[in-house]
Amino acid sequence: MGLRKRLMECFGCGGGERPEEQEAAVPRLGRKKPELRRWCTANLRSLSLQDLSRKLSETRLHGFTLDELKVATKNFSASNKLGEGGFGPVYKGFVDGNLRPGLEPQHVAVKYLEGDGVQGHREWLAEVVYLGMLSHPHLVNLVGYCHQEDHRMLVYEYMPKGSLENHLFKSNLLASLPWCTRLKIAVGAAKGLAFLHGAETPVIYRDFKASNILLDHDYTAKLSDFGLAKEGPSGDATHVTTRVMGTHGYAAPEYILTGHLTAKSDVYSFGVVLLELLTGRRSVDKRRRAREQNLVDWARPYLRRADKLHRVMDPSLEMQYSARAAHKAAQVAHQCLQSVPKARPTMRDVVAALEPLLALDEDVPMGPFVFTVAAAEADAKPKPEAQVEAAVPASANEEEETEAGGQQQQGKRHDMSAVHAESPLYATAVKRPESPPTLSRA
């Protein structure tokens, strides 16, 4: 039996035939079924680099040349740079039929791998192959890749709202994410994880965190960065043993202690992100008082107490959320954060518990409507007296002044409104703490 045939059998393709598409087990809303694809990913990590490279030809991805991506990104212009992460810099680009016949016109994000080494190349290959074989509305769509000489790049669909981390902790906006949007993001991310865990050989994401959740124009959450993803246990195995990698503050405690990895490790990480959505705090924040630096340790005692939950809820929400929904979401977070992995729910159970909360809005308090304008517009136009303050009672203004010192210590300014504007209201933004360090990627 030739190498090609053995390779194809490893990926569930028999003698070279295309694998059948399988539907995800997670329920989906809407009449039109989105495209779902889950090919068998068994033994992916055990393949050699040569076999992984050969597998690229079996994916439905575009193999871009370096020159094509230079054109798409205006020669990797600094003005097109979206940011930089552990992988390397990310640039915004545009591809269409003029670049390559038959290519759908769309904006893309080009992630450039910096540095050399076998491990970095393996992570790059793994991400290409995983996203080439997996397709789901809550996984970021990989358009193609580039591997030319020493240049290695990934070409994703462009996610215009950026990462969840930016909205929660680095946003230049005065107002924070509203409650309904936070729930939508939590449900979407949960569906993405449930899809990965639902295969016969589950895929464990292993690096679930706020910075790896990207948001579409309508705040649809999609998981990105599959460089650390790994096949879960199969057959009678209860776990896989691996070197500990991930991000401090998100990794499950048993994984850190033993290196034993299961799908329940992802469930714990989801619980941490859900807690970040509820509280507006980072998983680890060294700038806070000692007992509040670890989010899980600080918030866990309040999660099952409906009468105490408001003490840990994000103050920038200004009580504009359903108390019933918040309490149920907090209960889900508490279950996900159980120290014993078997006591945690599956991600399918998490989706089933969270999705109905999107309809719970009858007990959301009605706040005053405040029309907000950008700072640049405010400077350009003369402001009549009481233009903004007219919507807020005098007593509320006095109360806001007495609490100003406390709010500045938290590093936030809160909009006294249930309506959250998208434009920056101040030229200078409060500096947020940096992302927690990764445990290892080497």
- Rounded mean pLDDT, 13-27: 36
The pLDDT of residue 86 is above 60 = yes
Q: Determine the average pLDDT of the residues in 95-121.
A: 82
Both 53 and 116 in one domain: the answer is yes
Task: Write out pLDDT tens, residues 194-246.
Answer: 999 987 778 999 899 999 999 999 999 999 888 788 887 766 666 777 777 77
Give the sign of the dihedral formed by CA 314, CA 315, CA 316, CA 322. positive
Residues 142, 208: one domain? no
In the set 96, 150, 207, 415, the catalytic residue is: 207
In a domain, 391, yes or no: no
How far is the C-alpha of 158 from the C-alpha of 168, rounded, in Å?
Answer: 20
Residue 214 lies in a domain: yes
Residue 336's alpha-carbon distances to 98, 203, 264, 280, in angstroms, are: 48, 18, 8, 18
pLDDT value for 271: 97
Q: How many structural domains are present in the chain? A: 2
Mean pLDDT of 303-329: 94
Asked, for residue 419, whether it belongs to a domain, the answer is: no
* 307, pLDDT greater than 60: yes
- Mean pLDDT (whole number) for 269-276: 98
Which span out of 196-200, 258-262, 292-296, 433-437 was modeled with the highest average pLDDT?
Answer: 292-296
Domain span holding position 141: 32-157
Q: Check whether 294 has a pLDDT greater than 80.
A: yes
In this structure, the answer to whether residues 130 and 184 fall within a common structural domain is no
My answer on whether 195 and 316 are in the same domain is yes
How confident is the model over 358-372, as a mean pLDDT? 67
How many other CB atoms are there within 10 angstroms of residue 315's CB atom?
A: 17
* 197 shares its domain with 169: yes
DSSP string, 29-83: -SSSPPP-EE---TTTTTS-HHHHHHHGGGSS-EE--HHHHHHHTTTT-GGGEEE
Q: What is the pLDDT of residue 150?
A: 81
370: number of Cβ within 10 Å: 17
Q: How confident is the model at residue 440 (pLDDT cuts 50, 70, 90)?
A: low
User: So what's the pLDDT on residue 23?
Assistant: 35
Q: How confident is the model at residue 286 (pLDDT cuts 50, 70, 90)?
A: very high
Q: What is the mean pLDDT of the chain?
A: 75
Segment 384-403 mean pLDDT: 43
**Which residues, 6 or more positions from 71, have their beta carbon under 8 angstroms from its beta carbon?**
99
Query: CATH code at 69?
Result: 3.30.200.20
The crossing angle, in degrees rounded to 10, of helices 323-336 and 179-197 is 30
> Which of 136, 71, 134 minimizes the C-alpha distance to 108?
71
In a domain, 372, yes or no: no
Print burial letters for 198-228: b (CB count within 10 Å at least 16), e (below 16). Answer: bbeebbbbbbbbbbbbbbbeebebbbbbbbb
Same domain, 243 and 123: no
Please give the average per-residue pLDDT across 12-28, as a whole number.
Answer: 36
Q: What is the pLDDT of residue 402?
A: 42
The residue that leads in pLDDT, 120 or 47, is: 120
Asked, for residue 17, whether it belongs to a domain, the answer is: no
pLDDT at 175: 61
The answer to whether 111 and 90 are in contact (CB under 8 A) is yes
71 has a pLDDT exceeding 80 = yes
Under DSSP, the state recorded for 216 is -
CB atoms within 10 A of CB 109: 23
Q: Please tell me whether residues 200 and 222 are part of one structural domain.
A: yes
Q: Is residue 344 in a domain? A: yes
Lookup: tokens for 69:
């991506």
d(CA 243, CA 437): 17
For residue 93, with 0-12 CB atoms within 10 Å meaning exposed, 13-18 middle and 19 or more buried, which class applies? Answer: buried
pLDDT at 88 over 50: yes
- Proportion of the chain above pLDDT 90, given as a percent: 46
Weakest mean pLDDT among 30-44, 56-70, 340-354: 30-44
Q: Are 321 and 224 within one domain?
A: yes
User: Residue 84: pLDDT above 80?
Assistant: yes
* Domain end point (choices 101, 125, 157): 157
* 266 labelled catalytic: no
The answer to whether residues 197 and 227 belong to one domain is yes
pLDDT given at position 9: 38
Mean pLDDT is lowest, of 40-44, 224-228, 363-367, for 40-44
CA–CA separation, 336 vs 263, rounded Å? 12
Q: Is 271 found in the same domain as 222?
A: yes
Q: Is it the case that residue 367 has pLDDT exceeding 90?
A: no
Q: How do residues 398-437 score in pLDDT, each as one tens digit? A: 444 444 444 444 444 444 333 333 333 333 344 445 555 5
Statement to judge: residues 126 and 175 lie in one domain: no
Does residue 379 lie within any of the structural domains? Answer: no
415/367 Cα distance (integer angstroms): 11
Q: Is the pLDDT of residue 144 over 60?
A: yes
SS3 assignment, position 352 = helix
User: Does residue 11 lie within any of the structural domains?
Assistant: no
The larger pLDDT score, comparing residue 258 to residue 371, is at 258
Answer whether 86's CB lies under 8 Å from 159's CB. no
| HSE, side-chain direction, 13 A CA sphere, residue 45 | 17
Question: Worst-scoring range by mean pLDDT, 2-6, 270-274, 314-318?
Answer: 2-6
Calculate helix-pair angle for 347-354, 263-279, nearest 10 degrees.
30
Does residue 186 sit in the same domain as residue 326? yes
CATH number (domain holding residue 272): 1.10.510.10
In this prediction, residue 236 carries a pLDDT of 63
pLDDT of residue 373: 55
Final residue belonging to a domain, choices 109, 127, 157: 157
Strands 62-63 and 142-148: parallel
Q: Which residue has the tokens 């970040």?
A: 276
**Could you give the percent of the chain with pLDDT greater than 70?**
65
Select the more confidently predicted residue: 432 or 92. 92
Considering 100, 130, 157, which residue would you say is the last residue of a domain? 157
Stronger pLDDT, 427 or 338, i.e. the higher one: 338
Please give the DSSP secondary-structure letter assigned to residue 288: S
The answer to whether residue 16 scores a pLDDT higher than 70 is: no
